[in-house]
């Protein structure tokens, strides 16, 4: 009996000691206003694979696998400000945080972020930027500075364009197969349902896909993940659109297992910041989810965002000096109304079906299928008479002064200047009158001018399946398979005969029929002409990744393999290639490329505050469809020496984080090899051709580039209401080799030394050490935010930009530059002068000041808010980009042009906007 009692006592003491020695972190979360417990709050220990949500009493408790030492406890829920606590965890001790008070975030300043992204990405010239994915999904100080303050200058993070990043919606890749870039306007104007985003910087591990070296963004539109409520808003701006209305209704997950989210909106403007840039966009999105049981849910998403907007033109310095940065040559008045000749129309609905399967507590399978269809159209004027462009070089004063400033030339220049100042827009009446006049001659009834659009009608199916499983408490496995199939019908379509009767389908410059199967064909409105072909593409890939998490180090390793095929199939027999070796009708060669990728990285936790993060990746992928065909509108020719593109990326970061200060310092190095770039232009002075100007297709192959630099971001919560923040980017993007240049033209067929198909190899372009153009390569920002407890806030930043360069023309860096149009060397060629002529233009440095602020009110369960932003407060004038004009194709012409005070064929520039504003008022209930 005594032994039994002794045994029980020892067991009890042991149990008590074990309980006393159990390491625990616990607490309770309550609402600051109501003091009620807050349920389903996400609580996690940063850097450890430990997370849970609060229960019905707002409580949480961690009792196993807790890392020791200094750690960060993150507490957050949608609609509340996230809080981070520094805690010291000792073995066998209890960390009781007692009561944690969360304040509701009724400011919704993030809406400003998404509005910025929508605005900036509406411009064609900005779509190459890769900041879009980080606009709403990242809390990193540098990343948000790049999104808020740097993106308007077309700054590229790490020198990478958007084709280097991956954008997913519900796990489906949205980057276009044609050019590799996401078409953000396909989901523009549905901001309220695009807030649930995960962003992974660079090549770091993510659970959805291998990703790109420019980062990965996954936008979740799962209906059950939206909180219940409604929201209506109105916005006014002078950027892309002037007015926006939007309404959103979400149910959250209802008792019957259904969840619904619906949003609709409209954006419009007679003209935006640039003159004549009409804007007309509608948007609607629906997401409906049915939770079948605890393991299975099915979600349907539909997105329809038809939009039309007027484009603006790059301009020479001469045009800018005469008309200013708002000037746009693409528009003119017709019957008292603005009419833009260059309209981009996007109408590509997206349908998605997603199945979510919780196989077990540790394994999930997400299977997705999507279908996207519709069209993109870009309108312009075709003509067989004088150019209707008001900035055509013969319409400007510089043309009259091209041979000197004699009294006669000055008088002519003055006439041209006054004509341009007073009537410098597209004259629609002249186009109509020219076409009507032709009808009086029975032998010349066809129109001189016609408005048409370059059109591509796409149909794309995408499928993927994503499996995530925990193999152990500290090991997880991520796998995915993906497949996409695209049929892209490309053709030109007559939109408006501009008062004419018909238009002949031929190349008026060469007097050759565009389709030799129907010579002399006259077309009317709605007819297809010029070209008609289909591009087909098939892509598949598989991805696997393992992630390991330990108390002092986390690491991952991943790989992918895939394949891409392209093929062109034309219904036209192009008249330029009849009786030649060049194929233009029917199917061309099927292109086949392999995709290979490997990546890995680790995070070493020096302590709870200090981290070292290292990532590296290698990717081999197909060139884009755009850069695979030399001139897909006319023939089946493939770019010579076409190869897969190879990319490498390495970055090393030091991260410091405390409850007051958060910083990140990153050094990065990226390379791209065997890239291809295709362009089209007119050129004068092409060796071997004595014509004044030739229209050519240019392929630059084997392009190698390198980007390296540092990123630094910091923010300090110096008081409960004041945050100071700063960011710095010091980078350099350069060409690291001399790639080959090929030109294609039907004029070359039959010439000596020309490759099959009329392709002429010009040899190497000496691009090595030239800068890769694309916004400023150096940027800095410093600013502050003030958030008052009474729900008003204000912020300001001062931003500095430098090292932006003009995009150089490869052809003028080839041997052709030293040859005359007869193919012989230029006798007066001076290498020293040539070097100066070919020096890359560097833009002036500039500074931009931005302001943002807002106020929110709470009335019971309703919230009313207002916020506004002002960009470029000081109305700074600056260049965001530009390109060399290729008409000066050799040394003699370039030297002559350099001696002119006003350039006849000067570079084309993009100028940044002056002072702009954005204002928004909303009601949430």
For the purposes of burial, counting CB atoms within 10 Å of the CB of 113, is it exposed (0-12), middle (13-18) or buried (19 or more)? buried
The pLDDT score that the predictor gives to residue 790 is 87
Q: What gap in Å lies between CA 727 and CA 724, rounded to an integer?
A: 11
Give me the residue spans of the domains in the chain: 19-102
CB 798 within 8 A of CB 777: no
Using CA atoms, how far residue 818 sits from 249, 753, 835, in Å, is 66, 18, 12
CB 542 within 8 A of CB 481: yes
Rg (Cα) of the chain, in Å, rounded?
Answer: 31
Question: Quick count: other Cβ atoms within 10 Å of Cβ 677?
Answer: 16
CB 559 within 8 A of CB 544: yes
Q: What gap in Å lies between CA 844 and CA 348, rounded to an integer?
A: 40
Among candidates 802, 781, 615, which has minimal Cα distance to 713? Answer: 781
The mean pLDDT values, 10 residues at a time, for the chain of 925 residues are: 49 45 84 74 83 87 85 82 82 86 61 44 46 51 91 92 95 96 94 90 94 94 94 96 97 96 98 96 98 97 98 96 97 96 98 98 97 98 94 96 94 97 96 91 84 98 97 95 98 97 92 94 97 98 96 96 98 93 94 98 93 98 97 96 98 93 97 96 72 81 98 95 97 98 88 84 97 96 94 96 97 94 90 96 98 92 93 97 90 93 94 96 95
The pLDDT score that the predictor gives to residue 120 is 46
- Token pair, residue 182, equals 């996401």
Q: Residues with Cβ < 8 Å from 80, sequence gap 6 or more?
A: 38, 41, 102, 103, 104, 105
Residue with tokens 């970055």: 651
pTM: 0.89
* Pairing mode of beta strands 166-169, 216-219: parallel
* Pairing mode of beta strands 475-496, 449-472: antiparallel
- Return the half-sphere exposure (C-beta side, CA atoms, 13 A cut-off) of residue 434: 18
Q: What gap in Å lies between CA 770 and CA 810, rounded to an integer?
A: 11
Among candidates 126, 108, 76, which has minimal Cα distance to 191? Answer: 108
Q: What gap in Å lies between CA 688 and CA 690, rounded to an integer?
A: 7
Q: What gap in Å lies between CA 870 and CA 853, rounded to an integer?
A: 9
Q: What gap in Å lies between CA 616 and CA 125, rounded to an integer?
A: 30
The pLDDT score that the predictor gives to residue 67 is 86
For the purposes of burial, counting CB atoms within 10 Å of the CB of 522, is it exposed (0-12), middle (13-18) or buried (19 or more)? middle
Q: Residues with Cβ < 8 Å from 922, sequence gap 6 or more?
A: 108, 111, 231, 232, 233, 234, 864, 865, 866
The kind and range of the H/E element at 675 are strand 661-683
User: What helix, strand, coil percent values describe the chain, rounded to 5?
Assistant: 15, 50, 35
Q: What gap in Å lies between CA 464 and CA 770, rounded to an integer?
A: 41
Q: What gap in Å lies between CA 76 and CA 353, rounded to an integer?
A: 30
| Alpha helix stretches (DSSP H) within 391-491 | 397-400, 407-422, 428-438
Is residue 409 classed as helix, strand or coil in its secondary structure?
A: helix
CB 278 within 8 A of CB 271: yes
The pLDDT score that the predictor gives to residue 111 is 45
Q: What gap in Å lies between CA 49 and CA 71, rounded to an integer?
A: 13
CB 66 within 8 A of CB 45: yes
* Pairing mode of beta strands 24-31, 94-102: parallel
Q: What gap in Å lies between CA 278 and CA 338, rounded to an integer?
A: 8
CATH topology of domain 19-102: Immunoglobulin-like (2.60.40)
The pLDDT score that the predictor gives to residue 182 is 94
CB 579 within 8 A of CB 572: no
Plot region of 115 (φ>0 → left; ψ -120 to 50 → alpha; else → beta): alpha
Beta bridge partners of 856: 865
The pLDDT score that the predictor gives to residue 86 is 78
* Pairing mode of beta strands 296-304, 350-358: antiparallel
> What are the two backbone dihedrals, phi and then psi, of residue 488, each rounded to the nearest 5 degrees?
-115, 110
């Amino acid at each position: 009996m005594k032994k039994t009692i002794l045994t029980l006592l020892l067991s009890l003491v042991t149990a008590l000691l074990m309980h006393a020695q159990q390491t625990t972190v616990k607490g309770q979360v309550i609402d600051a206003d109501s003091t009620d417990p807050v349920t389903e709050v996400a609580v996690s220990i940063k850097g450890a694979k430990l997370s849970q949500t609060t229960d019905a009493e707002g409580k949480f408790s961690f009792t196993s696998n807790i890392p020791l030492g200094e750690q960060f406890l993150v507490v957050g829920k949608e609609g509340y400000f996230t809080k981070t606590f520094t805690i010291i965890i000792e073995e066998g001790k209890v960390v009781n945080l007692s009561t944690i008070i969360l304040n509701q975030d009724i400011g919704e300043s993030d809406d400003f972020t998404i509005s910025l992204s929508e605005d900036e990405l509406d411009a064609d010239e900005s779509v190459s930027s890769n900041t879009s994915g980080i606009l709403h999904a990242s809390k990193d100080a540098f990343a948000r500075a790049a999104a808020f303050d740097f993106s308007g200058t077309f700054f590229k993070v790490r020198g990478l364009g958007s084709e280097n990043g991956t954008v997913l919606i519900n796990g489906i890749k949205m980057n276009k197969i044609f050019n590799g870039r996401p078409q953000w306007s396909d989901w523009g104007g549905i901001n309220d349902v695009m807030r649930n985003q995960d962003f992974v910087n660079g090549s770091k591990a993510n659970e959805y896909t291998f990703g790109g070296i420019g980062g990965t963004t996954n936008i979740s539109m799962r209906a059950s993940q939206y909180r219940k409520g409604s929201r209506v808003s109105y916005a006014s701006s002078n950027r892309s659109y002037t007015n926006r209305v939007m309404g959103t209704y979400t149910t959250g997950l209802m008792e019957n297992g259904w969840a619904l989210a619906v949003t609709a909106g409209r954006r419009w403007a007679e003209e935006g910041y640039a003159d004549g840039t009409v804007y007309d966009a509608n948007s609607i999105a629906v997401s409906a989810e049915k939770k079948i049981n605890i393991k299975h849910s099915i979600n349907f998403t539909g997105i329809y965002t038809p939009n039309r907007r007027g484009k603006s033109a790059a301009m020479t310095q001469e045009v800018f000096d005469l008309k200013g940065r708002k000037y746009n040559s693409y528009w003119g008045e017709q019957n008292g109304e603005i009419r833009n000749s260059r309209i981009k129309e996007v109408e590509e609905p997206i349908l998605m079906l997603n199945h979510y399967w919780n196989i077990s507590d540790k394994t999930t399978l997400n299977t997705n299928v999507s279908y996207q269809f519709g069209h993109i159209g870009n309108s312009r004027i075709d003509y067989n008479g004088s150019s209707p462009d008001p900035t055509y070089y013969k319409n400007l004063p510089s043309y009259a002064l091209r041979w000197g400033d004699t009294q006669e030339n000055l008088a002519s220049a003055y006439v041209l200047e006054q004509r341009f100042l007073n009537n410098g827009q597209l004259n629609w009446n002249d186009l109509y009158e020219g076409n009507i006049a032709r009808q009086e001659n029975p032998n010349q009834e066809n129109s001189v001018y016609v408005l048409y659009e370059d059109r591509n009608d796409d149909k794309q199916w995408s499928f993927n399946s994503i499996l995530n499983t925990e193999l152990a408490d500290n090991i997880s496995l991520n796998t995915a398979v993906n497949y996409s199939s695209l049929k892209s019908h490309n053709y030109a379509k007559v939109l408006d005969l501009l008062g004419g009767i018909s238009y002949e389908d031929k190349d008026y410059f060469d007097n050759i029929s565009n389709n030799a199967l129907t010579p002399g064909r006259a077309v009317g409105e709605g007819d297809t002409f010029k070209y008609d072909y289909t591009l087909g593409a098939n892509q598949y890939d598989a991805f696997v990744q393992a992630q390991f998490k330990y108390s002092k180090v986390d690491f991952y390793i991943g790989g992918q393999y895939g394949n891409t095929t392209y093929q062109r199939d034309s219904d036209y027999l192009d008249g330029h290639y009849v009786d030649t070796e060049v194929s233009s009708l029917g199917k061309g060669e099927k292109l086949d490329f392999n995709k290979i990728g490997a990546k890995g990285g680790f995070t070493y936790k020096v302590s709870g505050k200090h981290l070292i993060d290292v990532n590296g990746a290698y990717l081999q992928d197909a060139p884009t469809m755009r850069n695979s065909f030399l001139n897909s509108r006319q023939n089946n020719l493939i770019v010579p020496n076409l190869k897969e593109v190879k990319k490498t990326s390495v970055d090393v970061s030091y991260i410091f984080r405390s409850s007051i200060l958060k910083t990140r310092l990153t050094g990065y190095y990226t390379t791209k090899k065997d890239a291809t770039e295709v362009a089209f232009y007119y050129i004068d002075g092409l060796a071997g051709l004595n014509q004044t100007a030739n229209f050519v297709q240019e392929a630059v192959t084997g392009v190698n580039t390198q980007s390296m630099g540092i990123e630094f971001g910091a923010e300090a919560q110096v008081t409960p209401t004041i945050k100071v923040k700063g960011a710095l980017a010091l980078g350099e993007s350069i060409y690291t080799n001399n790639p080959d240049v090929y030109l294609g033209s039907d004029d070359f067929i039959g010439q000596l030394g020309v490759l099959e198909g009329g392709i002429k190899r010009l040899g190497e372009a000496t691009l090595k050490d030239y800068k890769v153009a694309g916004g400023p390569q150096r940027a800095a920002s410093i600013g502050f935010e003030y958030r008052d407890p009474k729900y008003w806030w204000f912020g300001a930043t001062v931003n500095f930009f430098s090292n932006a360069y003009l995009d150089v023309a490869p052809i003028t860096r080839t041997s052709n530059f030293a040859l005359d149009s007869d193919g012989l060397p230029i006798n007066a060629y001076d290498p020293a002068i040539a070097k100066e002529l070919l020096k890359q233009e560097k833009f002036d440095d500039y500074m931009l000041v931005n302001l943002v602020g807002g106020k929110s009110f709470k009335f019971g369960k309703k919230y009313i808010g207002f916020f506004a932003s002002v960009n470029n407060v000081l109305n700074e004038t600056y260049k965001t980009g530009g390109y060399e004009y290729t008409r000066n194709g050799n040394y003699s012409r370039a030297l002559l042009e350099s001696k002119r005070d006003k350039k006849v064929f000067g570079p084309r520039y993009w100028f940044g906007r002056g002072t702009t504003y954005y204002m928004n008022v909303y009601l949430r209930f």
